[in-house]
Structure 1
Amino acid sequence: MAPSKRHNLTGWIFLIPAALLILITSFWPMIQAFLLSLQTGKGTRLNWAEPLWYNYARLFQDATFRLTLGNTFLYLIIQVPIMLGLALVLANLLNNPNLRWKGFWRTAIFLPCAVSLVSYSLVFRTLFSTDGFANDLLMGIGVIDSPVNWLGQTGTARFVIILGLIWRWTGYNMVFYLAALQNIDHSSIEAARVDGANAWQTFWFVTVPQLKPMILLTAIMSTNGTLQLFDESYNLTAGGPANTTMTMSHYLYEMSFQKNPNIGYGSAVSYVILILVAVLALIQMKVGDKRD
């Protein structure tokens, strides 16, 4: 056997175990979930739906699913741009070589994403309870006259979820931008300053364009994560009041494992989430990829 062919064969031998593991643990469950989405029934007594797309057609008539879809996109549209913009600004500030205690500030901003999802949700529930720190602070400085039921009203409950997401994930994205900033051509920044550009112009017209690949990556990851959002909806508000803060993944969980479980319908919801993730990722890649 020729050395090149033997080399290729050796590579495939090493790849096959990993490929089989991915196939068994990822793709096979995806296929099984799709088959389940075409079935109806309770528990193990499942039958093929008539018509096969019955569960998907039911989604368009499900007011609760439409509500959770709207909630999820509301979080996506508001939280992701704010979080990524804040992460970009913080990364640029913390990349200053003259900044003192850079390690401390970087660690402090990154630490929230290392906190357990359940733990931070419980902390936010305590902070925004009617007798929590948020109400005490706002009443102390005269912003409000009486305690606000933050988690019992639709608008404020959504605000708390968005605030929690920004607090937890901004530092995570900041680390990506900090890493990308290390590879920026500093001669272009110096040239902009010599030409009279101020700090904002240098940042917006010189630094940001060089960070576009990383901005695209973080935008795709943040979009995918928000579309699959579960923990905040489940632990912070339990989907209330009246499902107005519930996300699609939270609804998927309830349909599959709680409240008269319907595995087939839950699988259909999961595939809608998968399609949305794939479509939005494809759009972002097409918009963000400017290569000829």
Structure 2
Amino acid sequence: MIGIFYFYPMVQALILSFQSGRGNNLEFVGFDNYIRLFSDSNFLTSVKNTLIYLIVQVPIMLILAIFIAVLLNDERLRFKGFFRTAIFLPTVTSLVAYSVVFKYMFGADGIVNQFLLKLHLVGAPIQWITDPFWAKATIIIAITWRFTGYNMIFYLSALQNIDKSVYEAARIDGANAFTQFWKLTIPLLKPIILFTTITSTIGTLQLFDEVVNITKGGPGNATMSISQYIYNLSFEYTPDFGYAATVSYSIVIMVVLLTMIQNKIGGDKR
């Protein structure tokens, strides 16, 4: 079943990436599709947008997840179960449902603009959906809201497995809370940080639902992700499944390269 449902489609997609044509009328074109990538302005725009999401959103999300996990790991905190559940709930929320809610919340007359106007933080409604910069910011806020709790669970689990005597010894040696966090917590979380960085990178490179349901890739192509471009090539534009498969494999190549870099930087040779 693994061979049929995993490896066979992967091999077929790879073969398809060397073909081109409309619909099912495909012919072998060698590496022409891969060469076409470098001159395709829509593809380059989608890559730029996706990398912006990756560079900006992933670090913010992981830092928030670590910070929240440390707070929730405090034995003195009351109602820990409630807070853990509340922060994790966005992860199990329907992608389409929460995207639609965000679209209305960040609309020109949405609750976010009303709140900012009442506090006199802005003089006019922010065009969250129709302005290229703010549209990207809306996507980043949405995926951060959804996946911070998911990563927080990994960090919280790792923190609960750290022997408390390590921190007791540090306190006896005079280490303050910040020193304990920087010199003990972060190094001990290093394997989990590497794991969440890699999985978050893969997830961001495959970003689709939020972009399609909140901004539809607009304004123009200002928020279009690589996965949305693959969808457009297959179903919105004149179907070109061969080139769509090529763009799909570009994600595979980027994931492999970024994972190798992250393992090189954050991996432990021991």
TM range (shorter): over 0.9
Equivalent residue, structure 2, for 1:209:
187
Deviation of 1:120 (Å): 0.6
Deviation of 1:96 (Å): 0.7
Indicate yes or no: 2:267 matched with 1:286: no
Pick from 20, 35, 38 the counterpart of residue 40 of structure 1. Answer: 20
Q: Could you tell me how far apart the structure 2 residues matched to 1:216 and 1:153 are?
A: 34
Pick from 53, 59, 73 the counterpart of residue 81 of structure 1. Answer: 59
- The one-character-per-residue Cα deviations of 1:37-64 (angstroms, maximum 9, x if unpaired) are 1111111111111xx0011111100011
Pick from 158, 163, 170 the counterpart of residue 136 of structure 2. Answer: 158
Helix, strand or coil at the partner of 2:77: coil
- The one-character-per-residue Cα deviations of 1:174-210 (angstroms, maximum 9, x if unpaired) are 0000110111121111111111111111111111111
Indicate yes or no: 2:153 matched with 1:175: yes
- The one-character-per-residue Cα deviations of 1:133-180 (angstroms, maximum 9, x if unpaired) are 011001000011222221000000000000001100000000000110
Pick from 237, 247, 268 the counterpart of residue 225 of structure 2. Answer: 247
- The one-character-per-residue Cα deviations of 1:84-127 (angstroms, maximum 9, x if unpaired) are 01000100110011110000000000001110000010000010
Equivalent residue, structure 1, for 2:7:
27
Deviation of 1:286 (Å): 2.4
Unpaired segments of 5 or more residues in structure 1?
1-20
Helix, strand or coil at the partner of 1:245: coil
Helix, strand or coil at the partner of 1:85: helix
Equivalent residue, structure 2, for 1:64:
42
Pick from 175, 189, 198 the counterpart of residue 220 of structure 1. Answer: 198
Amino acid at match of 1:86: L
Equivalent residue, structure 1, for 2:117:
139
Helix, strand or coil at the partner of 1:222: helix
Helix, strand or coil at the partner of 1:152: coil
Amino acid at match of 1:68: S
Q: Could you tell me how far apart the structure 1 residues matched to 2:233 and 2:149 are?
A: 33
Q: Which moved more, 1:98-107 or 1:187-196?
A: 187-196
Equivalent residue, structure 2, for 1:14:
none
What is the TM-score with the length of structure 2 in the denominator?
0.98
Greater relative contact order: 1 or 2 (C-alpha under 8 angstroms, separation 6 or more)?
2
Helix, strand or coil at the partner of 1:167: helix
Tell me how large the CA RMSD over aligned residues is.
Answer: 0.8
Identical aligned residues as a percent: 52
What is the TM-score with the length of structure 1 in the denominator?
0.91
The answer to whether the 8 Å contact 1:138/1:144 transfers is yes
Equivalent residue, structure 1, for 2:175:
197
Helix, strand or coil at the partner of 2:21: strand
Indicate yes or no: 2:86 matched with 1:108: yes
- The one-character-per-residue Cα deviations of 1:197-224 (angstroms, maximum 9, x if unpaired) are 1111111111111111111111110000
Deviation of 1:228 (Å): 0.7
Pick from 189, 205, 212 the counterpart of residue 234 of structure 1. Answer: 212
Q: Could you tell me how far apart the structure 2 residues matched to 1:277 and 1:289 are?
A: 16
Pick from 126, 131, 142 the counterpart of residue 148 of structure 1. Answer: 126
Helix, strand or coil at the partner of 2:129: helix
Aligned residues: 270
The answer to whether the 8 Å contact 1:189/1:207 transfers is no
